[in-house]
Amino acid sequence: MRIIFMGTPDFAVPALEKLIDGGYEVAVVYTQPDKAAGRGRVVEEPPVKKAALRHNLTVLQPENFKSAETKRQLLELKPDTIVVAAFGQILPRSVLEIPAFGCINIHPSLLPKYRGVAPVPAAILNGEEFTGVSIMLMDKGIDTGPVLTSVHVPVLQQDTTETLMQKLANTSAQLLLDTLPGWFRKEITPQLQNNGEATYTKMLTKEAGEIDWKLPAVQIWRQVRAYQPWPGSYTRWQGKQLKILEAVPLTGEVTGEAGTVLNVNKNEAAFGVVTGNGILGVKKVQMEGKKAVTADEFLRGQRQFIGAVLG
């Protein structure tokens, strides 16, 4: 079978690698255009492009599929199917109708729950015990197409978006390889999603990472994990941004203004912060302009920190 692969970030790389290792003919890889990143604004190639070039695959990077030339080029490739994994572009109906076996999308949630662009942070933020991967047949909607296969993946208490995405990426790659033979043999019946049970996620913003200390400690703990690596979870002290990189909710009653720093004297954390409900134990931080350090190291350099009010 002749496959076109469309993907951009690290999440999509294991699926591409599995297709290659599985002996499938990957005719062309589409990915987003190279972009400037970092403080130096250095132009970087997307992870999928780097992986494709390692395997000597042809890489195409159109801005979109609006031009007649881009569509003609895709038609001439005559794919049996197009596999999409976090590509970052909406495919028009004219593209969806090209492959005989449709366009297959890998989505990191158990559809119809958490449609949209940020399903993994949403699962952590909402305290889900399980999330998963769905392989679906694409239609004109956003993650609304019928599901071919899916698999559950547990969300561990230490999981961040970064670690959970990696697990889901590896799981989705294997699920794709397990799904394609049955799909090509027409042994899989696509299951329509129940739109009444659908939930949606939106693009995260930098502002979403600011910590509201009036929230419960458990909710802030989930936020710290959900927003790592981006947008991060941060507060302010002495006019500078202080990132909370690792934390844990602590048991015990406490009174005081939300945001007040306490010496908790517990093995789980070096210091705590009063929240709207409970104490958030902090294990790792990063002060603006400084490197990341353990909370113990931070306290040794900031002895006046205990008793401060953050926010």
Q: Could you give the CA distance from residue 114 to residue 56 in angstroms, rounded to a whole number? A: 35
pTM over 0.85: yes
- pLDDT at residue 252 in the model: 76
**Average model confidence (pLDDT) across the chain:** 95
Q: Is 130 helix (H, G, I), strand (E, B) or coil?
A: strand
Domains 2-201 and 206-305 share a fold: no
For the chain, the C-alpha Rg in angstroms (whole number) is: 23
In percent, the amount of the chain with pLDDT more than 90 equals: 91
- pLDDT at residue 36 in the model: 86
pLDDT > 90? residue 266:
no
- pLDDT at residue 65 in the model: 92
DSSP 8-class letter at 262: E
* Superfamily of 2-201 according to CATH: Formyl transferase, N-terminal domain (3.40.50.170)
- pLDDT at residue 267 in the model: 72
Q: Could you give the CA distance from residue 25 to residue 14 in angstroms, rounded to a whole number? A: 16
Instruction: For residue range 277-309, list pLDDT tens digits in order.
Output: 999 999 999 999 999 999 999 999 888 999 999
31's enclosing H/E stretch is none
CA distances 207 to 46, 72, 162, 204, Å, are 25, 41, 19, 8
CA distances 140 to 90, 96, 106, Å, are 9, 8, 15
Bridge partners of 274?
279
Instruction: For residue range 129-162, list pLDDT tens digits in order.
Output: 999 999 999 999 999 999 999 999 999 999 999 9
Lowest mean pLDDT segment, chosen from 179-183, 195-199, 302-306: 302-306
- pLDDT at residue 254 in the model: 82
Domain 206-305 -> CATH class? alpha beta
Q: Could you give the CA distance from residue 89 to residue 267 in angstroms, rounded to a whole number? A: 46
Region at 52 (left for phi over 0; alpha for psi -120 to 50; beta for the rest): alpha
Confidence of residue 39 (pLDDT cuts 50, 70, 90): confident
Residue type, 217: A
Residue 112: is the preceding peptide bond cis (ω within 30°)? Answer: yes
pLDDT > 80? residue 265:
no
Q: Could you give the CA distance from residue 74 to residue 164 in angstroms, rounded to a whole number? A: 33
- pLDDT at residue 255 in the model: 81
Tell the burial category of 240 from Cβ atoms under 10 Å away from its Cβ (0-12, 13-18, 19+): exposed
Domain ranges of the chain: 2-201, 206-305
Instruction: For residue range 204-255, list pLDDT tens digits in order.
Output: 999 999 999 999 999 999 999 999 999 999 999 999 999 999 999 998 778 8
Residue 46's φ and ψ, nearest 5 degrees, are -60, 150
